Structure 1
C-alpha cells in the first residue's frame, strides 16, 4: 500500500471516528459520571465489536446484510431497542453530585465491565457500522496486492484512530461532569444525553438500506 493512499485514508478515517454517534455520546456520558479513565477503558468494548466487524468485512460476509432485508432489520431493531433501554436508564439515573476520591474509584472498578458491555452492544447493534467497513475500507485496498494484509493494516489504523476519538469524547465528558456537578445541572445533562440516545435509536429504526433508498 502506497504512502500516498495512507495519507488520504488517515484523515478520512479520523473524520468517521470523530463523527457524533451513539458510541461517542456514550463515552461523554460515561466520563461525566465515572471519569475519564473509566470511559476510555470501557471503550475497549466498542473496539472489540469493531474488530469483529472488520473481520466480517474482510471475509466478505457483510454482503449478507446488503442482500438480506430480514438480517438487516433484526440487527437494526435489536440495536435500537438497546439504545432505548440505555436512554431510559440514563433518564432515571440519580442526579446526586459526582463521586470522587476512593469512592469514585470503587464505583468505576465495579462498573467497568458493565460499561464496556454497553459500548460493545451499542456498536454491535448498529448494522450501519458493518456497511461502513464494507464500503469504506475496500476503497483503499489495492487489488494488485494481497487483500488480507491491507485489510489488517487499515483495520489497525482505524482502531487506533477510534481509540483517539474515544479519549477525545471522554475528555469532553469528564469536563462536562465537573461543570454539571450541581445535581440540577447533572439531571439536565443526563436527560439531554438520554434524549439524544433515544433519538439515535429512533433514527436507527427508521433507517433503510442504501439500496432500498436508491
Structure 2
C-alpha cells in the first residue's frame, strides 16, 4: 500500500459521503433542527459505524453475507424498516415547531450509529472499493490505518457540515421552509427504505 492508494480511497469515500442518502439527510436535518453539537454527534455516530463497516470488509464480512444470504436479508429488512420509521416521524412532525430544547448529543450519536449500523450495503460498498483500490495481503497495521483514515475523513466531513449548516442565517431559512424540507427528506428516506426492503 502506498500514498496513491490512500488518495484514491479518500476520493471515492468523499464522493460516497457527499452523495444524497440516509446518512447525509439525517446529518443535515439534525444540525439544522438541533444545532451544531447534535450535528457533530450524529456525524460521529455515522462515521464510527462506517469505519467499522470498512474494518468488517477488510476482515471478510462480505464473504459471510455471501455464504449466509439470510443474514444479509435480515439486516437489510431491519434497516429498511428503521429508515421508514424515521421518515414517518419526520413527516408527522414536519409542521411541529422546533422546541427550544436541543436534541441531546447522546441521542444524536445513537441515531447516527443506528442509521449506518442498519445499512449492510455499507460493508458491500466498502468491500468493492477496497478490492479495487488496495493491494491484497496488506498487513494488520495497514488495515488499521485504512480504518483510522476512514474514520478521520467521516468525522472531518460531518464536523465541517455541522459548522456550515449551523450558522444563524442557514437555521433561519430552514425554520421558514421546515415543513417542505422535512416532507421532502421524509419522502426520500421513505423511498430509500422501501427500495432497500423490496430490492433483491
User: Would the TM-score normalized by the shorter structure come out above 0.5?
Assistant: yes
| Offset at residue 197 of structure 1 (A) | 1.1
1:160 aligned residue:
152
Please say if residues 5 and 133 of structure 2, whose CA atoms lie closer than 8 Å, have aligned partners that are also in contact. yes
Structure 1: gaps spanning 5 or more residues: 209-214
Is 1:193 paired with 2:193?
A: no
Deviations 1:36-92 (A, max 9, x none): 221112222122322332232222132111232211111111001001111111112
2:78 aligned residue:
78
Structure 2: gaps spanning 5 or more residues: none
Supply the distance in 1 between the matched residues of 2:84 and 2:4 (Cα, whole angstroms). Answer: 42
1:211 aligned residue:
none
1:203 aligned residue:
195
Cα distance change of structure 1 residues 179 and 69 upon mapping to structure 2, 3 Å threshold:
same
Is 1:42 paired with 2:42?
A: yes
| Offset at residue 2 of structure 1 (A) | 1.8
SS in 1 for 2:189: helix
1:134 aligned residue:
127
| Offset at residue 146 of structure 1 (A) | 3.7
Aligned residues: 198
* Mapping of residues 46-195 of structure 1, within 5 Å: 46-93=46-93, 95=95, 97-98=97-98, 103-104=100-101, 107-108=102-103, 111-143=104-136, 146-171=138-163, 173-174=165-166, 176-182=170-176, 185-195=177-187
Q: Give TM-score scaled by structure 2 length.
A: 0.86
Deviations 1:87-138 (A, max 9, x none): 1111122635545xxx44xx24xx2222211111110111110111222123
Q: Give TM-score scaled by structure 1 length.
A: 0.81
| Offset at residue 189 of structure 1 (A) | 1.7
Backbone CA RMSD of aligned residues: 2.2
| Offset at residue 173 of structure 1 (A) | 4.3
